[in-house]
Amino acid sequence: MARPRKPINTELVVRLASRGYVAREIALFCGISEPTLFRRCADPLQRGYLLRDSSLRKKQFEVAMNGNPTMLIWLGKNLLGQTDRQELTGAGGGPIQYERTDLRKLTDEELAQLEGLVEKAHAEFSDARRNSG
């Protein structure tokens, strides 16, 4: 004969999940195993986690709207799909297409020229950073 099912307070499961407790902690509070929690309380657990997420989102929005630039940027990226990516365009307005060059095919002279260009760009970049700060 099977052991009788232990009653689980599903409202407690929702309340704990909504406050950020993880499944292992919720199961411990309820006196059950994690697998039992997942098997018998999947819906209350999901509801609690959705309430937690909406509370966090609300607080993040409040912080952002109070002028926190970091939170404004983060929400812009995550909710609005904004990015820091900058797309270079050519004269025709479309993206610039670059051809890959096999550096193994360059002559010693061409490699030296390339090295000089890189060093010059690096120096100009370093000077610009030094002068802007």
Domain annotation covers residue 96: no
Domain annotation covers residue 89: no
Q: What is the pLDDT of residue 87?
A: 65
pLDDT 10s digit of each residue in the chain, 133 long?
Answer: 788 888 999 999 999 999 999 999 999 999 999 999 999 999 999 999 999 999 999 999 999 899 898 888 888 888 888 887 666 666 666 666 667 777 777 788 888 887 888 888 888 877 777 787 5
Domain annotation covers residue 112: yes
The domain of 128 spans: 106-132
Structure tokens at 105: 């095919």
Number of domains composing the chain: 2
Report the predicted TM-score, pTM, of the whole model to 2 decimal places. 0.56
Q: Using the structure block, give the residue that is written with the tokens 């966090």.
A: 56
Q: What is the pLDDT of residue 20?
A: 95
Same domain, 20 and 59: yes
Residue pair 30/13 in contact by the 8 Å Cβ criterion: yes
Same domain, 69 and 113: no
